[in-house]
Amino acid sequence: MVERVHHITDLEELERVAIHGRASLYPERIKILVGMATCGRAAGAEEVLEKVREVVAQKQLPYIVAETGCIGWCSQEPLLDVWVPGRPRVTYGRVTPKQVPEILAALPEAKPKLALAIMTGDDNPLTGKHADYCNGHGSKVDGLPSYAELPLFRRQLRIVMRNCGIVDPASLEEYAARGGYRALWRALWSLKPEDVVREVTDSGLRGRGGAGFPTGRKWQAVRDAKGSPKYVICNADEGDPGAYMDRGVLEGDPHSVIEGMIIGGYALGAHEGVIYVREEYPLAVARVKAAIAQAQHADLLGDDILGSGFGFRIEVAQGAGAFVCGEETALIASIEGRVGEPRPRPPYPAEKGLWGKPTCINNVETWATVPVIVSRGSAWFSRIGTEGSKGTKVFSLVGSVANTALIEVPMGTTLHDVVEEIGGGVPGGRAVKAVQTGGPSGGCIPAEKLDLPVDYESLNAAGSIMGSGGMIVMDDHTCMVDIAKYFLDFLQDESCGKCFSCRVGTQRMKEIVTRISEGKGTEQDLDLLEDLAWMVSETSLCGLGVSAPNPVLSTLRYFRSEYLAHIRDHKCPAKVCKELITYTIDPVTCNGCGACVSLCSGQAVVGEKNKLYTIEQARCTKCGACLESCKFDAVLVN
Amino acid sequence: MIRLTINGSPVQVDEGSTVLEAARLYGIPIPTLCHADGLTPYGACRLCVVEVGTAPKSRLVASCTTRATEGLVVRTDSARVDRARRLLVELYVATSPQSKRIQDLASAMGMRECRYEAQHEDCIQCGLCVRICNEQMIAGAIGFSGRGTTRKVSRPFDQTSELCRQCGACLYVCPICEQRCQGATAESALCNGCLNFSPPCFNSYDDAMCFLDPCHACELAGPFRADARTKIRATATAR
Amino acid sequence: MPTVETPILDETIVDKYEERRANLVPILQEIQSTYSYLPEELLRRVSRKLHVPLSDVYQLATFYRCFSLKPRGRHVVQVCLGTACHVRGGPKILDRVETETGTVGLGTSPDMEFVVETVRCLGCCGLAPVMRVDRDIYATLEQSKIKRVLNRYRKKRPAGKDASDG
């Protein structure tokens, strides 16, 4: 899609651009929107989009075909939305190319059997306005719930994700139509830099990258620091496995981060910014680079932004495959062309950061929140959330949950509500065993504690951390010893290796937990594990090491009995740890169909077709393919 | 001048000093492995940790890379520091039991037990060799490669670089290269040699022969000191 | 055993970058994406051009996961082992991929068709388990689907899910 190039030098021009955006966002014609973020593509959205274009071209339909980012309904990807002027927007889920002609043929009517929900309007927390789509026809479509009614969406308050799934991320005009760059105008023209810092401080915003450090305090420290030039960095090295909030924002609404950074630069007296994106997110990198180029052409980045005289430039730096580069000093080292080895703090980056100069590093979500705070004010923001944790948080709710999704809720929502109400609980009616938060730096919250509110202090007290927002729901198919081993494996892989405590400590912890998972552990091993964990946490050089023992310690705290079962009884209650389980075929239910034979990786399934098969234990690799392929529940795991 | 407190006593050091330098200036011992005067501080061995701040906000930091700041409260021998050092040294012994330096450290702490399986690594990645090559010899022939458990000191592309002048500084500065005495417990990870026998010089001489490279056993306080004193008295009485 | 052709090295890749240390990682990234590994000759050139010690360049090349010092298999298979994928069978998918490609553990397959790596994470956690082959992402995998997916890439030039490029 080719957009006009604008030169936005004042508010009037910005308004004119916004008018174009509104015409594109809420057109007079029918518009088909396909969710084209990475998870959509992984589910097959590219083929769906192609099919839409093909049908539209073939039949010469006067429809607009557009792409959008992630609305967060991941379990239903690929998502296709239909906008008919004056009617609710209809969302179709799990769309296949085969369904496309049918959906298009029915227009302007919907096909409720294939659809998921309707959107009767949208809220814009940036402007505080609500857009009503249905000022003509009725606001109902037979049998379809509205987003406002759905448990998945009705508790959400989408501040950071305000435009994701609504706008075309490649459109500066649509971003402007949603109020974009007005906060920047307000900051540059109506506020002094100190005022901006004060707004952010009074809002109570805490860094969304994981540590939850008060953003205003960090900004003030950078302002006060001596040295120039100053830098502003966006940490988009989202490395926590299971977390993809930043990806959602960068792919769905890159301008929100850009606007936030320019405002930050103005507040802190910095004229250069860097967005550091991990290389595992090529689409996010592409979207951000395109948005920066757009902003540059529109003079929203450059030497004289919106006629204010303030200049700001943004560069994109790519990660190279190192989780540790999410640590701020390692990230800085990476930009400087060095290995991502963290440096001791103090001095903190606010004092000595990029190239030894005062640097403000914040996470993607934090930057995306800044325009909203500047626009609506700190008082408005601080009314959301709890006393110690203001505002909203984006979470990637994944694992054993019906609605795997990217959600944004006010701080203080209980874990129970997130998992059961918003997430729809564990599929198949199974019970939640634990919820893992904070990635490899966090811990597992057991089912008994799910009524705790999601905020920084409560999660810390429970032995976990908020972290970047990854929330993994686990049921009783998950072995907590295996989870501890998994995270230790990860940390060992990703440790930079410089300091002895972390490098050798995580290695030894992993050795012990592996022994336990194989049924060869002793109870002294648990004491040793606790000593090791204490040492690694107390003496490591950087946050990765300091928090490395958290998964082990939290699983030991809440699931000690599971460890003891592995040690004393040589059993894995969840039937996960390979050395402690056996796969067998039930002679009663097996009907000899042979589906398991070809997939067996050890050629261990022997027997006669249409009669009975058995598994030769000596050759069984515990790959589990037989269990996966058996339609008769004849494969048993003990 | 910066004024800070170490172990309850006020000390004064030049601006820019590290806590380790401040402690050493006042003769307060802090064990180190990756530190060497004349090389930039590295902070990898973690042995030099001290407790800074006052409870409940105190924490352990590496004294070699922590700047001395005005009013800083430092404790080099608190219970927390002691526990951390013991656990670290126990792990060092398991990692490189063949090193005299590390066994000496273990003996100095009276360590009697190592709960880990010995690994016999040749390198603890203290970085001294890399730093001396880069900073003192200005050669830069060796460096680190890899990451985490695959991290090691290496030559680029595993070929000896033409920058290497064969000076041997890397060998000289390595704390692992000097082998421990084989002693009575050569197979176990923990040598305990110095804790188990008295200084050998008293078997043959009246005095401690410390004008030679001092035997570590003499540097330790404890039973053999008394043992040695008894021997001297016995020898003197015999004459 | 088939070998990968020794590429003709285009040294202008290095020369077109300004002599700033900050360009070190971007240069290596461009070399990696052009040749699918980092040839020693080019790394030496980078060291000379940017006045950075060779041991530093070598450290960078071995520290970051996306770099490889040896030619890799034609198609890059990255099995996601993020937490969500781990809980939903990711390790079993990895085992199956290793079996199907003939790699023992991670690395390049004997026929040089594939290089099997793990990644944490691709950010598609809602559709776990996930893997990426070249630029295509496959989600909600089962062991039975792996062979078919890999066969699409065998004996083809590095291309997309369908026959057309990109």
Please, which residues have CB within 8 angstroms of residue A598's CB and are 6 or more apart in sequence?
none
Specify if C7 maps to a domain: no
Cβ C90 vs Cβ C79: under 8 Å: yes
Single-letter code of the amino acid located at A603: Q
Q: Does A293 touch chain C (CB under 8 A)?
A: no
| Together in a domain, C133 and C80 | yes
The verdict on a CB contact (< 8 Å) between B156 and C58 is yes
User: Confidence band (pLDDT; 50, 70, 90) for A309?
Assistant: very high
pLDDT at residue A414 is higher than 50: yes
C-contacting chains (≥3 CB pairs under 8 Å): A, B
Residues in Cβ contact with A326 at an 8 Å cutoff, skipping those fewer than 6 apart:
A209, A235, A237, A238, A239, A240
C-alpha A532: how far from chain center: 32
Please give chain B's pLDDT, 239 residues, in tens: 999 999 999 999 999 999 999 999 999 999 999 999 999 999 999 999 999 999 889 999 999 999 999 999 999 999 999 999 999 999 999 999 888 889 888 888 888 889 998 888 889 999 999 999 999 999 999 999 999 999 999 999 999 888 999 999 999 999 998 887 665 555 678 877 777 666 667 677 776 666 555 566 666 654 444 445 555 555 555 54
pLDDT in tens, A39-63: 899 899 999 999 999 999 999 999 9
- Which pLDDT score is estimated for A534? 96
Q: Report helix, strand or coil for A272.
A: strand
The rounded distance, in Å, linking the Cα atoms of B8 and A631 is 73
Mutation target to probe the B interface, by most B beta carbons within 10 A, among A504, A512, A537 is A504
Chain A residues with CB under 8 Å of C23 CB are: 337
Count of CA atoms in the C-beta half-sphere (13 A) of A294? 24
Query: Measured between alpha carbons, how far is A69 from A133 in angstroms, rounded to an integer?
Result: 20
Nearest to C63 among B147, B155, B161 (CB): B147
Q: Give yes or no for residue A136 having a pLDDT over 80.
A: no
pLDDT of residue B223: 44
Residues 6+ apart with CB under 8 A from C164: none
Residue A130, classed as helix, strand or coil, is strand
Residues of A in contact with C139 (CB under 8 A): 39, 42-43
Cβ-Cβ contacts under 8 Å, C123 against chain A: 38-39, 238, 244, 247, 280-281
pLDDT of A418 strictly over 90: yes
CB neighbours of B210 closer than 8 A, spacing ≥ 6?
B218
**A129 to chain C, minimum CA–CA distance in Å?**
31
Q: What total number of domains does chain C contain?
A: 2
Say what the pLDDT of residue C1 is: 38
Residue C100 in any domain: the answer is yes
Q: Do A320 and C64 touch (CB under 8 A)?
A: yes
Give the SS3 label for residue A64. strand
DSSP state of B53: S
Contact B157 C63 (CB under 8 A): no
The model's confidence at residue A186, banded by pLDDT at 50, 70 and 90, is: very high
- In this prediction, residues A156-181 reach a mean pLDDT of 96
Question: Is residue C68 in some structural domain?
Answer: no
Half-sphere exposure of A90 (CA within 13 A, CB side): 27
Beta strands in A558-625 (DSSP E): 583-585, 605-608, 612-615
Number of inter-chain CB pairs under 8 A, A vs B: 86
A368 within 8 A of A256, measured Cβ to Cβ: yes
Q: Tell whether C106 and C138 lie within a shared domain.
A: yes
Half-sphere exposure of A256 (CA within 13 A, CB side): 34
Residue A316 confidence (pLDDT): 97
Q: What are phi and psi of A6, to 5 degrees?
A: -115, 155
Chain A residues contacting B via beta carbons under 8 Å = 322, 339, 344, 346, 492-501, 503-505, 507-508, 511, 524, 528, 531-532, 534-535, 538-541
Kindly state the helix (H) or strand (E) to which residue A158 belongs, with its residue range.
Answer: none
In chain A, which residues have their Cβ closer than 8 Å to the Cβ of C22? 335-337
C91 is in which domain, residue-wise?
75-151
Contact C54 B146 (CB under 8 A): no
Distance CA A189, CA A76 (A): 44
Confirm if A475 and A221 have CB atoms less than 8 A apart. no
Residue C164 is assigned to a structural domain of this protein: no
Cα atoms in the Cβ-side hemisphere of radius 13 Å centred on B10: 5
Give the separation between CA A14 and CA A10, rounded to whole angstroms. Answer: 6
Q: Tell me the two tokens of residue A379.
A: 């008082």
Q: Please determine, for residue A161, whether its predicted confidence score (pLDDT) is greater than 60.
A: yes
CA distance C22 to A404: 39
Nearest chain C residue to B144 by CA distance is: C59
Give the chain B residue whose CA is nearest to the CA of C67. B146
DSSP for B192-234 reads: -HHHHS--THHHH-SS--TTSS--HHHHS-SHHHHHHHHHHHH
Across B24-93, the runs of DSSP E, i.e. the strands, are: 49-52, 59-62, 73-75
- Whether C57 and chain B come into contact, CB under 8 Å, resolves to yes
The pair phi, psi for residue A264, each rounded to 5°, is: -60, -45
Q: What is the per-residue pLDDT across A240-297, written as a single tens digit (0 to 9) for each?
A: 988 999 999 999 999 999 999 999 999 999 999 999 999 989 999 999 999 999 999 9
Which of A241, A322, A628 is opposite residue C83, by nearest beta carbon?
A: A241
pLDDT tens digit string along C96-142? 999 889 988 888 888 888 999 988 877 777 788 999 998 888 988 99
Which residue on chain A is closest to C92 by alpha carbon? A623
Q: Which of C51, C52, C55 to mutate to test the interface with B (most CBs of B within 10 A)?
A: C55
User: Does any CB of chain A come closer than 8 Å to the CB of residue B49?
Assistant: yes
CATH code of the domain containing C94: 3.40.30.10
State whether A42 and C130 contact (CB < 8 Å): yes
Partner chains of B (3+ C-beta pairs under 8 Å): A, C
A247–C contact, CB cutoff 8 A: yes
Q: Strand A31-35 vs strand A64-68: parallel, antiparallel, or unpaired?
A: parallel
Distance CA C55, CA C53 (A): 5
Half-sphere exposure of B169 (CA within 13 A, CB side): 21
> What does DSSP assign to residue A420?
I
In a domain? residue C58: yes
Give the integer Cα–Cα distance in Å for A415 and A450.
5
- What Rg do the C-alpha atoms of chain B give, in angstroms? 20
**Tens-digit pLDDT profile for residues A444-467:** 999 999 999 999 999 999 999 999
Q: Which domains does chain B have, with CATH numbers?
A: 2-77 (3.10.20.740), 81-123+179-196 (no CATH), 128-173 (3.30.70.20), 197-239 (no CATH)
Shared-domain flag, residues C128 and C88: yes
Whether residue A539 and residue B66 make contact (CB cut-off 8 A), yes or no, is no
- Which residues of chain A from 396 to 415 reach within 8 Å of chain C, CB to CB? 396, 398-400, 404-406
Beta bridge partners of residue A614, listed in sequence order: A606
Co-location of C94 and C34 in the same domain: no
Task: Report the DSSP pairing between strands C114-119 and C75-80.
Answer: parallel
Report the alpha-carbon distance of residue A253 to residue A235 in Å, rounded. Answer: 16
Task: Measure the CA–CA gap between A457 and A365, rounded to whole angstroms.
Answer: 19
Q: Is A98 helix (H, G, I), strand (E, B) or coil?
A: helix
Q: How far is C98 from chain A (nearest CA, A)?
A: 10
pLDDT bin (cut points 50, 70, 90) of residue C159 is very low
Whole-number Å distance between alpha carbons of C5 and C158:
15
- Beginning with the edge strand found earlier in the chain, give each strand of the sheet holding C131-133 in spatial order: C107-108, C114-119, C75-80, C131-133, C136-138
Cβ–Cβ pairs < 8 A, chains A and C: 162
C13 pLDDT tier (thresholds 50, 70, 90):
confident
Tell whether C54 and C81 lie within a shared domain: no
Q: Please report the pLDDT score of residue A386 as a whole number.
A: 96
Tokens encoding C109:
């397959």
Asked if the Cβ–Cβ distance from A496 to B147 is below 8 Å, we say yes
B 197-236 residues inside an 8 A Cβ radius of A: none
Task: Give the residue ranges of DSSP H helices in A225-343.
Answer: 245-252, 254-268, 282-297, 328-335
pLDDT in tens, A218-239: 999 999 999 999 999 999 999 9
Å from B224 to nearest chain A CA? 31
Looking at the predicted structure, is the pLDDT value of residue A362 above 60? yes
Exposed e or buried b per residue across A330-349, where buried means at least 16 C-beta atoms within 10 angstroms of its C-beta: bbbbbbbbbbbbbbbbeebb
Instruction: Give the mutation candidate from B66, B149, B153 for the A interface (greatest A CB count, under 10 A).
Output: B149
CB A601 within 8 A of CB A557: no
- Smallest CA-to-CA distance from C73 within C27, C113, C117 is with C113
Mean pLDDT throughout A571-577?
93
Report if residue C89 sits inside a domain. Answer: yes
Using CA coordinates, name the residue in chain C closest to B151: C63
Looking at the fold, whether C16 and C84 belong to one and the same domain comes out as no
> Partners of B52 in the beta sheet?
B59, B74
> Residue type at A264?
G
Both structure tokens of A399: 């694992």
* Phi, psi for A615 (deg, rounded to 5): -105, 125
Residue of chain B minimizing CA distance to C58: B156
- State residue A116's pLDDT score: 94
DSSP string, A369-420: HHHHHHHH-HHHHHTSB-SSSBSEEEEEEEES-SS-EEEEEETT-BHHIIII
Torsion sign (Cα): A509, A511, A514, A519: negative
H runs (alpha helix) in B45-190: 79-95, 100-108, 128-131, 169-173
| Residues of C in Cβ contact (< 8 Å) with B143 | 53, 55-56, 58-59
What three-state secondary structure class fits A604? coil
CB contact under 8 A, C55 and B157: no
Q: Which residue in A508, A524, A539 is closest to B46 by CB distance?
A: A539
Asked if C59 lies within 8 A of B145 by C-beta distance, the reply is yes
| pLDDT one-digit tens code per residue, A476-498 | 999 999 999 999 999 998 999 99
- Are residues A322 and B147, on separate chains, in Cβ contact within 8 Å? yes
Q: Looking at the structure, tell me whether residues C137 and C83 fall in a common domain.
A: yes
Q: Cβ–Cβ contacts within 10 Å for residue A192, how many? A: 11
CB-based contacts of A484, cutoff 8 Å, min separation 6:
A513, A551, A552, A555, A556
Shortest distance, CA B120 to any CA of chain A (angstroms): 13
Residue C141 in any domain: the answer is: yes
Beta-carbon-side half-sphere exposure of residue A428 (alpha carbons within 13 Å) = 7
Strand partners, C87: none
What spatial distance separates the first Cα and last Cα of chain B, rounded to whole Å? Answer: 57
d(CA A248, CA A396) in angstroms, rounded, equals: 10
Is residue A492 within 8 A of residue A502, CB to CB? The reply is no
The DSSP call for residue B144 is: E
**Complex confidence, ipTM:** 0.89
CB atoms within 10 A of CB A7: 11
Range picked from A499-503, B211-215, C92-96 for highest mean pLDDT: A499-503
Domains of chain A in start order, with CATH, are: 21-150 (3.40.30.10), 181-381 (3.40.50.11540), 392-475 (3.10.20.600), 480-568 (1.20.1440.230), 582-637 (3.30.70.20)
Q: Helix or strand or coil: residue A362?
A: strand
**Contact at CB, B143 and C62, closer than 8 angstroms:** no
Q: What is the mean pLDDT of residues A538-563?
A: 95
Residues C29 and C79 in one domain: no
Strands lying side by side in the sheet with A313-318: A313-318, A270-277, A230-236, A359-363
Reduced to 3 states (helix: H, G, I; strand: E, B; else coil), residue C46 is helix
How far is C-alpha A17 from the geometric centre of its chain's CA atoms?
Answer: 30
pLDDT at res. C162? 41
Tracing tokens 């060095």 back to the chain, one arrives at A338
A624/C143 Cβ within 8 A = yes
C85/C57 same-domain check: no
C87 with C142, same domain: the answer is yes
| Domain identity same for C80 and C145 | yes
The pLDDT value given to residue A633? 83
Is residue C161's pLDDT more than 60? no
Residue C2 pLDDT: 40
pLDDT of residue C163: 36
Q: Which of B120, B70, B79, B122 is nearest to B97 (CA)?
A: B120
Strands A612-615 and A605-608, sheet pairing: antiparallel
Inter-chain touch A500–B124, beta carbons under 8 Å: yes
Contact C83, C123 (CB under 8 A): no
Does residue C42 sit in the same domain as residue C86?
no
Whose CA is closest to A203, among A374, A382, A386, A362?
A: A382
A393, pLDDT greater than 90: yes
Whether C62 has its CB under 8 Å from any CB of chain B: the answer is: yes
Does residue C29 lie within any of the structural domains? yes
Q: In Å, how far is A167's CA from the nearest CA of chain C?
A: 21
